[in-house]
């Protein structure tokens, strides 16, 4: 059963990758609607089986929705010394948290009335010594902030509520702007990039409804119409937090499947 579950997450994560490579599905998948959100790539922090909570806050014209995600089953995956395969490192004492706020139309917002809202990603944990692409090595890292970033919409420079990314009804994505942590300080990992992306994927009915509500097609329904309660909890979500300039996408897909396999082994070692 665990293998089937991880295979499902692997499929969900492959969706944005297909978009970045111009893949045309013979099954008529919806078109990629986030051309300005980078597709997942290596290195990346990958966390499986997260819990996402959707909350409806305030009322009337000031109603907004807060998405909060938490998890602690993270792998840091990178290219190996030949840049043709991958290294994967399990994080210890790991903690992933992200938060995003949306208006009732599903636009990412940074304020509602006089209330300032923060959209962010934060990953903490310890990391064993390792290397990336044969050019960057690091010593073991004790428990610390590994990555912190602001979550942005497709067009963060326009100063208005805006769309995030969706793909194939099973994934949602944000641009990111790095604001701290170990990974962004290592030039060999980032290639000089100041931000990449956070993608969330899942196949549960409630997660698919969430993607519909955020895909800019109001004919599919809105947050208010699809989640008619004040709070909803969604489990089994996967997050992929990309660190570098996008590249070698096909390698990422291969590595992603191995990462999911490593997570399965990690879970089994814990008796899960």
**pLDDT given for residue 17 in this prediction:** 47
CA distance 230 to 211: 18
- Specify whether the CB–CB gap between 45 and 73 falls below 8 A: no
For all residues of the chain together, what is the average pLDDT?
80
Q: Which residue from 122, 123, 98, 118 is spatially nearest to 108, judged by alpha carbons?
A: 118
- DSSP three-state, residue 133: coil
Helix, strand counts (H, E) of the chain: 5, 15
**pLDDT given for residue 133 in this prediction:** 87
**pLDDT given for residue 14 in this prediction:** 52
pTM of the model: 0.83
**pLDDT given for residue 85 in this prediction:** 80
**pLDDT given for residue 26 in this prediction:** 34
Residue-wise pLDDT tens digits, 185-222: 998 999 889 999 999 998 899 999 999 899 877 677 88
Q: How far out from the chain centre does Cα 130 lie?
A: 23
Question: Both tokens of residue 164?
Answer: 């995030």
CA distance 137 to 124: 19
**pLDDT given for residue 69 in this prediction:** 98
Give 115's strand partners.
Answer: 112
- DSSP three-state, residue 225: helix
- Specify whether the CB–CB gap between 19 and 32 falls below 8 A: yes
The segments of the chain whose pLDDT lies below 50 read 1-9, 11-12, 15-32, 248-272
**pLDDT given for residue 41 in this prediction:** 81
**pLDDT given for residue 229 in this prediction:** 79
Q: Which residue from 187, 64, 74 is spatially nearest to 121, judged by alpha carbons?
A: 74
**pLDDT given for residue 107 in this prediction:** 92
Q: Which residue from 66, 63, 46 is spatially nearest to 55, judged by alpha carbons?
A: 66
- Specify whether the CB–CB gap between 71 and 263 falls below 8 A: no
Q: Where are the domains of the chain?
A: 39-269
């Amino acid at each position: 059963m665990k293998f089937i579950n991880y295979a499902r997450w692997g499929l969900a994560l492959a969706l944005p990758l297909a978009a970045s490579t111009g893949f045309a599905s013979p099954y008529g998948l919806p078109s990629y609607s986030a051309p300005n959100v980078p597709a997942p790539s290596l290195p990346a922090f990958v966390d499986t089986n997260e819990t996402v909570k959707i909350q409806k806050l305030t009322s009337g014209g000031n109603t907004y929705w807060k998405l909060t995600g938490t998890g602690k089953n993270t792998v840091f995956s990178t290219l190996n010394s030949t840049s043709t395969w991958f290294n994967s490192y399990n994080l210890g004492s790991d903690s992933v948290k992200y938060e995003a706020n949306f208006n009732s139309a599903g636009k990412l917002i940074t304020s509602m009335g006089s209330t300032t809202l923060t959209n962010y990603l934060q990953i903490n944990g310890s990391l064993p010594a390792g290397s990336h692409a044969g050019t960057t090595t690091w010593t073991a890292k004790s428990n610390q902030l590994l990555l912190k970033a602001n979550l942005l919409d497709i067009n963060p420079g326009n100063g208005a509520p805006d769309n995030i990314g969706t793909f194939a009804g099973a994934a949602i994505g944000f641009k990111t702007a790095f604001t701290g942590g170990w990974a962004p300080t290592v030039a060999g990992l980032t290639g000089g990039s100041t931000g990449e992306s956070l993608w969330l994927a899942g196949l549960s009915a409630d997660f698919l409804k969430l993607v519909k509500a955020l895909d800019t097609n109001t004919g599919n329904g809105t947050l208010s119409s699809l989640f008619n309660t004040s709070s909803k909890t969604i489990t089994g979500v996967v997050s992929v937090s990309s660190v570098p300039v996008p590249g070698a996408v096909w390698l990422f897909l291969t590595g992603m499947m191995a990462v999911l396999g490593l997570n399965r082994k990690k879970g089994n070692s814990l008796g899960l």
